[in-house]
Amino acid sequence: MTILHIDSSVMGENSVTRIISQSAVDQLKATRPGGTVVRRDLATDPIPHFTPEAFADSTVVDEFLAAEVVVIGAPMYNFGIASQLKAWIDRIAVAGKTFRYTEQGPEGLAGGKKVVIASARGGFYGPDTAMAAFDHQENYLRNVFGFLGVTDVTFVRAEGVAMGPDARDAAVETAKAEALKLAA
């Protein structure tokens, strides 16, 4: 059993998503003894922007396909995901490998995987908030993984982290408690 652990925050030790993704990986490891963790840090070891030459390199998509569980630290930056994470998604959405078009429409080929998104954002973007339409981070990730055939997508979220230190700490504790509920 392989867990692919990805981070994309540029905030180093102050990163909320790194705390959450590590909690999620620790919990998933505990429920899967003997599993191995493959680490990919997109901030310290970035994948370059997509280029025509990059088509030939299948390392990143093969690593994604080989993992049973994928944990992704995904901060909201300017209402979307970090560009480092977008560069990774550009490598895993590969026609013929992770999706294909049929006469009935698109078909995801990467099903059977569990994806856990460690999400953090400064404000609040729930469906009942005025900012809901600005959420191009979680909605985007849910749609991308759905398109690739992944139906088991769980969000472990810290919201409102920019509302002061107390709010940040409370949001992190809530997310860590949510991570403890991750099991099979």
Ligand X SMILES: Cc1cc2nc3c(=O)[nH]c(=O)nc-3n(C[C@H](O)[C@H](O)[C@H](O)COP(=O)(O)O)c2cc1C
Q: Which residues are annotated as a binding site?
A: 9, 76-79
Q: Does 30 bind ligand X (CB under 6 A)?
A: no
Closest CA to 72 of 9, 122, 127, 121: 9
With respect to ligand X, which residue has the nearer C-beta, 22 or 75? 75
| Feature table: binding site for FMN | 9, 76-79
Neighbours of 9 (CB within 10 A): 24
The one-character DSSP state at 68 is: S
Q: Decide: 67 and 110 in contact? Cβ < 8 Å.
A: no
Can you say how many angstroms the Cα of residue 48 is from the centroid of all Cα atoms in its chain?
Answer: 18
Q: And the tokens for 137?
A: 């981070």
Q: Does 180 bind ligand X (CB under 6 A)?
A: no
Q: How far apart are CA 102 and CA 50, in angstroms?
A: 25
- Per CB under 6 A, the segment of 16-24, 62-70, 88-96, 101-109 that binds ligand X is 16-24
Q: Which of residues 76-135 bind ligand X (CB under 6 A)?
A: 76-79, 120-123
Closest CA to 180 of 159, 154, 161, 162: 154
Q: And the tokens for 58?
A: 């299948």
With respect to ligand X, which residue has the nearer C-beta, 42 or 67? 42
With respect to ligand X, which residue has the nearer C-beta, 77 or 145? 77
Q: Which of 1, 11, 30, 95 binds ligand X (CB under 6 A)?
A: 11
With respect to ligand X, which residue has the nearer C-beta, 36 or 78? 78
Q: Does 161 bind ligand X (CB under 6 A)?
A: yes
Q: Which residues bind ligand X (CB under 6 A)?
A: 9, 11, 15-18, 75-79, 120-123, 161-162
